[in-house]
């Protein structure tokens, strides 16, 4: 039999985003759609790919309807709406173990709580409204989640009978409003490097790259597995001429935000990416803007620019984000001060 819990246990609380802070932002995240039926153990399942801090969750009705009685109740998006009876909401969000996550008794607008019905004030939603809002701050771990019709949730086959006269299936888009904090932005809206300093990250640190190899510049979310990466910007740095001269020769952009099955690649060299006006050709990926520009200063190389890096709603990794740059910034012994100024690799970040 299903066990209902009206509070989120400590095991369900994800760690908050570890970003050094001086400002708080909000962003809308779309978790896709789910359809759930009014009876027969028929929840709608969806996935939350990353640990997330939310201020509220909003369900937007797509199609279909449910009712608590096929004979007397009018169709509704979220609950039970019948002539002469109270307007009752009956939509719940649970984890994969069917523990109720939303709404709980501390949700804004909740005036009474029943099993399996509850009531919200008019600003939060009624059974026939096109949206249902759960204004309930919470930390949600990544994983599988479900939308349920309340009577279906508490009635396994053969256990209860209150769902017997229920009818219908309803479908909704699940959106969350997330909160996160971002590091202080650099002194201008757009930061770039085409000489010393060559890289500028979210922390406002400036450093040079002296080590060749492939390196992640932006990784959203930070530490995400490849299949769950929203945006990954990688650069291949090569020694060009001497131990001190390192240039970006290939830049690859991949992740779900690109809507591409293969990485988008840019190449230096005489037949590589055309030189572009640096004020044009920004590419939008999710909440972030990127630009790759081919330049020539003795050798061909690539500059990488990014803006709105701290607006993604996720902790950002990579050399432009919050990852450590100690290894790539280690200067070779044979690199003298005179040679140090030769390095040209550039990155830009905009808050």
pLDDT in tens, 68-115: 887 777 889 999 886 656 678 999 999 999 999 999 877 777 777 666
183-348, which class in CATH? alpha beta
> Are 228 and 202 a contacting pair, CB within 8 Å?
no
Under 8 Å between Cβ of 183 and 20: yes
Q: Is the pTM of this model over 0.75?
A: no
Q: Is the peptide bond before 197 cis (omega within 30 degrees of 0)?
A: yes
Domain residue spans in the chain? 10-181, 183-348
Q: Are 125 and 31 in contact (CB under 8 A)?
A: no
Find out whether the peptide bond into 150 is cis, omega within 30 degrees of 0. Answer: no
Q: Quick one: pLDDT at residue 180?
A: 52
What is the per-residue pLDDT for 42?
A: 94
Does the structural domain 10-181 have CATH classification 2.60.120?
yes
Categorize the per-residue pLDDT at 9 as very low, low, confident or very high, splitting at 50, 70 and 90.
Answer: very low
Please, is 261 exposed, middle or buried when counting C-beta atoms within 10 Å of its C-beta (0-12, 13-18, 19+)?
exposed
User: Taking a C-beta distance cutoff of 8 angstroms, is the pair 314, 194 a contact?
Assistant: no
Q: How far apart are CA 293 and CA 301, in angstroms?
A: 8
DSSP 225: -
């Amino acid at each position: 039999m299903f066990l209902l819990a009206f509070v989120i246990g400590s095991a369900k609380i994800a760690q908050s985003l570890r970003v050094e802070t001086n400002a708080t932002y909000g962003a809308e995240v779309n978790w896709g759609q789910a359809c759930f039926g009014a009876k027969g153990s028929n929840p709608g399942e969806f996935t939350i790919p990353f640990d997330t801090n939310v201020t509220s969750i909003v369900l937007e009705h797509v199609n279909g309807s449910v009712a608590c009685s096929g004979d007397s109740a009018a169709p509704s998006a979220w609950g039970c709406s019948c002539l002469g009876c109270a307007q009752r909401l009956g939509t719940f969000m649970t984890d994969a173990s069917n523990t109720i996550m939303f709404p709980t008794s501390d949700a804004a607008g909740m005036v009474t709580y029943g099993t399996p019905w509850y009531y919200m004030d008019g600003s939060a939603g009624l059974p026939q409204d096109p949206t249902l809002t759960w204004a309930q701050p919470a930390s949600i771990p990544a994983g599988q989640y479900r939308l349920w019709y309340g009577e279906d949730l508490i009635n396994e086959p053969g256990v209860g009978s209150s769902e017997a006269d229920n009818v219908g299936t309803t479908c909704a888009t699940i959106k969350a409003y997330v909160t996160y904090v971002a590091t202080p932005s650099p002194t201008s809206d757009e930061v770039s490097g085409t000489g010393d300093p060559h890289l500028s990250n979210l922390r406002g640190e400036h450093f040079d790259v002296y080590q060749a190899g492939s390196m992640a510049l932006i990784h959203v979310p930070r530490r995400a597995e490849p299949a769950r990466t929203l945006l990954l910007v990688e650069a291949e740095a090569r020694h060009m001429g001497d131990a001190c001269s390192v240039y970006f020769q290939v830049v690859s952009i991949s992740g779900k935000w690109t809507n591409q099955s293969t990485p988008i690649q840019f190449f230096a060299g005489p037949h590589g990416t055309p030189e572009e006006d640096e004020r044009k050709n920004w590419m939008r990926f999710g909440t972030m803007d990127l630009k790759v520009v081919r330049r020539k200063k003795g050798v061909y190389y690539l500059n990488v620019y990014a803006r709105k890096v701290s607006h993604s709603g996720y902790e950002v990794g990579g050399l432009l984000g919050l990852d450590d740059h100690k290894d790539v910034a280690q200067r070779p012994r044979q690199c003298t001060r005179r040679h140090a100024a030769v390095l040209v690799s550039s990155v830009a970040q905009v808050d």
